[in-house]
Amino acid sequence: MSYLILGIDDAGRGPIIGPMILAGVLLDKNGEEILKKHNVRDSKTVLHPTRVKLAELIKETSLGHHLAITSPDQIDKAINTGTNLNTLEAIKTAEIINALNNQKDKIKVIVDCPSVNIKAWRATLLGFIKNKENLEVICEHKADANHVSVSGASILAKVTREDEIEKLKSQYGNFGSGYPADPLTKKFLKSSGSKLKDSGLFRKTWSTWKVLFPDKNQASLRDY
For residue 129, pLDDT beyond 90: yes
What are the residues whose beta carbons fall under 8 Å from the beta carbon of 51, sequence distance 6 or more?
A: 43, 155, 158, 159, 162
Contact between 136 and 3 (Cβ < 8 Å): no
Mean pLDDT of 40-68: 96
Mean pLDDT, residues 14-37 taken together: 97
Contacts of 123 (CB under 8 A, 6+ apart): none
Distance of alpha carbon 22 from alpha carbon 156, whole angstroms: 9
Q: What is the pTM of this model?
A: 0.93
Exposure pattern of 90-116 as b/e (b: 16+ CB <10 Å)? Answer: bbbbbbbbeebbeeebebebbbbbbbe
pLDDT reported for residue 217: 59
Contact yes or no for 55/155 (Cβ under 8 A): yes
Residue 223, pLDDT above cutoff 70: no
- pLDDT score for 3: 86
Domains in the chain and their CATH numbers? 3-169 (3.30.420.10), 174-214 (1.10.10)
Percent of the chain with pLDDT over 70: 95
* pLDDT of 212 above 70: yes
Model confidence band, residue 218 (pLDDT cutoffs 50, 70, 90): low
Which residues touch 23 (CB under 8 Å, ≥6 apart)? 8, 9, 10, 11, 65, 66, 67, 68, 96, 153, 154, 156, 157, 160
**Beta bridge mates, 66:** 24
Q: Average pLDDT for residues 123-139, to the nearest whole number? A: 97
